[in-house]
Chain A
Amino acid sequence: MDERQRLFAQVNDLHHTYLRGTPLETVALRGVSMQIRTGEAVGIIGRTGAGKSTLIQHFNGLLRPRQPGRVIIEGQDMSDPTLDVRALRQRVGLVFQRPEQQLFERLVGDDIAFGLKQLGLPADERRARVRWAMELVGLDFDRFRNRFTFSLSGGEMRRVALAGVLALRPRVLILDEATSGIDPRGRRELLTHIAEWRQQSEVTLIIVSTNMDEIAELVERIYVLDDGRVVLCGTPRQLFADPVVLRQYGLKVPQVSALVHRLSELGVTMPRVPITIAEAADDVWTILNS
């Protein structure tokens, strides 16, 4: 496999301005550069307004780069006007914030099948995929496929929306603050489904969030955005070592990591920066018994 295909995304000096040329002009991205390898799980975090959504909308062609910025997705230059954007969107799935607010079909099965119809798949193939996607998100096919979309609970609707994207069998899944506004149980369920799906297929995962805890366990690398720029990059363990810097960017580290920082202020050195409670328990136990 050549170098280009080992990268899902290559972003160079990307800028983006909304409503350019009007009095309401706002600059969202000021020269972002990053790389995402195929099969990686990456987190993109930052406070509201940092430019996260703007950035990821370049990954499936909803936004196009302007000179001098360059965006290469799966080896294709996104400034190429002849690019087949719809084919790209089948491979790169994007789930927006509050996806349950974007359902529009009367029946659950139809809504999930929407993207498949756009692809022109035959009816039996569509049904098979809808069944697969529904099972993946924990909705029983026979019980739910003919339910009215708007009669479902919030959590169920969210799962329908997720299934609608998964049914396309994307190779890349981007979640744009997909867990904002859900309670911890709902969030845990959603992330479990995502983790399961990721295990089933070798996919690239990009999670956008303002919440450190939730992505700490899922991603290998994190990019921190602030005011339209990449300000930090590293593994969760590397980033959580410095809560002070992250606080500057409006972000909080998981409490277990903040604990390490506070302990070092009190003169106790921990062997590493834990990112889960289990790790913290082990580390503290070691410290207390050495």
Chain B
Amino acid sequence: MQNLTKEILELIRRTSTDLPADVEAKLRTAYTDEENGSAAQGALDTILKNVELARSNSTPICQDTGTPLFYVHYPEGLSTRKLKKMIVDAVTEATKLTYLRPNSVNAVTGANTGDNSGDDHYPTIHFEEVDENLPLTIELMLKGGGCENVGVQYKLPNVAMHAGRDLAGVRKVVLDAAQKAQGKGCAPGILGVAVGGDRGSSYLASKEVLLTKIGTENPDSELNALENQITEEVNQMGIGPMGFGGKTTILDTKIKGLHRVPACYFVSVSYMCWAYRRRKMTVKGAEVSYD
């Protein structure tokens, strides 16, 4: 198979430095919605200037480039071992070129590896096999530690919140998560929610659901309505950009339902910061495209 290290490096560069158009458009709307001269509008003004500068100078939008999260769909027959090696090499090279911060810290010794080399889970790579006629796609999400720290997992029922094992209960705990997050996850963010699963799969799905564009309609009409309701209600809280107070606290909510075992009903919330960095590369034969 062809060596794609350079092409993956380009995927990392684009993800770190060039905010997707749907996110930028939503931030521009938020800017016009905030009161003229408010701290909230000032924050959005700075955010938008930074987005433009990062793109034109090819420098990271945010210094916290997170744990690089790769989602690979590979046609039957491609070697995942080779793909992994290319991804790891591209991550190391991207760190040298300052598209990524050296973020990999050994939790036991406290030592930073300096080049983003890590272990079996760092960088994180999810592989999924697809039909041999389909192209290879690699998606990358960069999600910083600040917003990762405000992510939370609930188990229902929750007595204190009067939240039962239904979508009304899901609504309550997600609202609770958003209020507790305040501006600490770099508001205005995006909520990724998974309902069901086990503790691990639930958190994974709460991030995977963030791979779709802002405003993508949920195919489940009930979940779609709940997404819209939560977005509207969180924005009533007045937390605003950076938690300064204001009208836009989150840009969108995305919910995915999973299968669960009878005893467990988890609701996992992943908060994605406004610097919602995700890009995709598609490889068809010798042709590589990015979006």
A and B found bound together: no
A residues with a Cβ closer than 8 A to B are none
